[in-house]
Amino acid sequence: MQPNTLLDAILDEAGISHAGLAAHVNQAGRRRGLALRYEHTAVARWLKGQRPRGQVPDLICEVLAGRLRRPVTLDDIGLGVPGEPATVHAGSLSGFVERATALWRSDEQQRPHVVGAPAVTGTPAVMPVWEWENPPEDVDVSRGGQLRVTEADIGTLRAARAHYEQMYRKTGGVATRTRIVGFLNAEAAPLLRGSYPDHTGRQLHRATGGLVAIAGICAYDSDAHGLAQRYFHQALRLAKASGDRGLGAYVIALLVNQSLFMREYRQAVAFAEAALRTAGRHITPALASDLYAMQAKAYAHLGDGGGALSCIRRAESAAGQIRPGTEPDETGYVQPGLVNVQVAEALLSLGELSAAREHAAAAVDTPAHDRGRVHRLAMLSTIELRQGNADKAVATAVQMAEQARGMESQRLRDRLRAVREYLVRCGSAGTADAAELIDGALRVPL
């Protein structure tokens, strides 16, 4: 059940409260001979994704149309009839833009039914990937609006994506998310609704897709997994509209990473295969190496050692083909050492501790941005503890805790807590001091 952000947005536009809508629906129902007794709690359920029964969706349209003095359809309020084809507007790119911007607005306003929504699984999780892979393609993405979109506007979006990515790497997703979502609402949304020819429109959708992907990363880093998934699905749709298969494959890599976190290992393997297959020659060595490395982790968790080792070899081969300066901005996260730490995690799951430590140590010895370095140190410390090298593990954990201080990231907190738990279990000399340092890093409020 997905939050109904379209209904939320149109209620805000109409200036009507939850209790007010319920009361007006009850009144409209009485005019049709219906005895309705809805309260604000019912509206809250509708916003969470529950579909009202009987004639109520039509009554909501009637109430809102009277308030806004324009026609309001079921698709406008996110209540198109299940099983029936969507209207042209709802299924079109312009309809997608309205749904996407409604989500950004709800996120900026911190609507609980949006921020706290769980991630979907099964068919709803897979369909956006399938739709990206398969026809129909967008033949023409031009649009006629009041605001004329220029190359300078697109340059602003690209610069913003780079800015927020760096902010995320330094401070974490919790602090960055509110800023990037505010930018999407203030800057990107008016441009998407603006006026542009097909060529400019494809650049616009690509630039916006890159921004939306970073918003998804920040939501994922904030433990808002349903919201993150919806941002990733939006970014995938924007990538398709742009015609850039490489961008789509990058977004799927983000979905693979989330699938691994959610322990949907078979889904992670399938998504990575879809990206590699569909992007084809448009996939870069950096992205291919990351996808193969994540596949290796998924196979290792599934107990398929042969599959994991095969993907490790492919990841290392692709990593050897990376050439600085030839990759798009989005794959800049695939820095030297990233594949090493991914491989180390796969080998750790397979019980290959010596080989895992070798890769983890190589990753730590390679320069990385602040966030990546914390993850690398956490992996190395974990492996050293598993090997029984308590002294080395403590020293590594101290570096990790010092590096993590000041970062607002739920994923980093997860890593810190896991290492702390291992240290406490170990109980060797120095573990108490290291645990205290980790506690200090964890005391940063989220």
Q: Could you write out the DSSP letters of every residue in 37-54?
A: ---HHHHHHHHHTPPPPT
Does residue 291 have a pLDDT over 90? yes
Q: How many CB atoms lie within 10 A of CB 39?
A: 12
Per the model's pLDDT, the better-predicted residue between 156 and 33 turns out to be 156
**Tens digit of pLDDT for each residue in 227-279?**
999 999 999 999 999 999 999 999 999 999 999 999 999 999 999 999 999 99
CB 105 within 8 A of CB 5: yes
- Tell me the pLDDT of the chain averaged across its residues: 91
What mean pLDDT do residues 387-408 have?
88
**pLDDT confidence tier of residue 445, bands split at 50, 70 and 90:** low
Which stretch of DSSP H or E encloses residue 153? helix 151-171
Alpha-carbon gap, residue 26 to 34, rounded angstroms: 8
Two tokens, residue 382: 């974990």
**Which residue is it, tokens 């309001």?**
72
Give all strands (DSSP E) within 62-185, no chain letters. none
Does residue 293 have a pLDDT over 90? yes
Q: What is the pLDDT of residue 73?
A: 87
**pLDDT confidence tier of residue 420, bands split at 50, 70 and 90:** confident
Q: What is the pLDDT of residue 81?
A: 60
CB 338 within 8 A of CB 287: no
**pLDDT confidence tier of residue 70, bands split at 50, 70 and 90:** confident
Q: What is the pLDDT of residue 91?
A: 57
Two tokens, residue 155: 């340059």
Q: What is the pLDDT of residue 85?
A: 37
**Tens digit of pLDDT for each residue in 80-126?**
865 443 333 445 898 899 889 999 999 998 988 888 989 999 999 99
Q: What is the pLDDT of residue 408?
A: 86
Q: What is the pLDDT of residue 88?
A: 34
How many Å is the Cα radius of gyration of the chain? 24
Q: What is the pLDDT of residue 90?
A: 43
**Tens digit of pLDDT for each residue in 373-392?**
999 999 999 999 899 888 88
CA 88 to the chain's CA centroid: 28
Q: What is the pLDDT of residue 232?
A: 98
Domain residue limits, the chain: 5-91, 93-243, 273-362, 369-446
Which stretch of DSSP H or E encloses residue 392? helix 390-404
Does residue 170 have a pLDDT over 60? yes
**Tens digit of pLDDT for each residue in 133-163?**
999 999 999 999 999 999 999 999 999 999 9
Does residue 404 have a pLDDT over 90? no
